[in-house]
């Protein structure tokens, strides 16, 4: 067995696909949190009333659901796996932990 065939058999295509899904969903979680932080900044500057705020929240979360589903469709044809959900949550937590303060200070 030569080195080229040994290298190709080391990494299973399933592992490559799952790694791709994990990275894409990690960025999806970070992207949603970026948009959420921008949404909070805009909302704090405008100071809308309760009804307008409720409508804005609904519209934002509809946008977030559409964006998340498009990321999910891109990386795994719409299948929701545990590692994709875990990666999305990890991306959201990483954004809050490391990058949230760069947008604004709470």
Number of domains in the chain: 1
Rounded to the nearest integer, the mean pLDDT of the chain is 86
Is 22 a domain residue?
yes
Tell me: pLDDT of 33 over 70: yes
Helix (H, G, I), strand (E, B) or coil at 4: helix
How far does CA 58 lie from the centroid of its chain? 18
**Which residue range(s) make up the domain with 58?**
14-103
| Tokens, residue 16 | 């490559």
In a domain, 2, yes or no: no
pTM, 2 dp: 0.80
- CA torsion through residues 56, 72, 85, 37, sign: negative
Domain-located, residue 78: yes
| Domain membership flag for residue 86 | yes
Report if residue 92 sits inside a domain: yes
**Tokens 């100071």, residue?**
47
Residue 40 lies in a domain: yes
**The length of the chain, given as a count of residues:** 106
- Report pLDDT digits (tens) over 48-80: 889 999 999 999 999 999 999 999 999 888 888
Other C-beta atoms lying within 10 Å of the C-beta of residue 45: 7
5 in a structural domain: no
């Amino acid at each position: 067995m030569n080195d080229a065939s040994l290298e190709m058999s080391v990494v299973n295509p399933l592992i490559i696909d799952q790694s791709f899904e994990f990275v894409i969903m990690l960025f999806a979680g970070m992207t949603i949190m970026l948009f959420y932080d921008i949404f909070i900044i805009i909302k704090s500057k405008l100071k809308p009333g309760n009804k307008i705020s409720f409508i804005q929240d609904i519209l934002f979360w509809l946008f977030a659901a559409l964006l998340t589903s498009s990321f999910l469709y891109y990386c795994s044809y719409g299948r929701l796996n545990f590692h994709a959900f875990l990666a999305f949550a990890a991306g959201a937590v990483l954004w809050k932990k490391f990058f949230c303060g760069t947008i604004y200070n709470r």
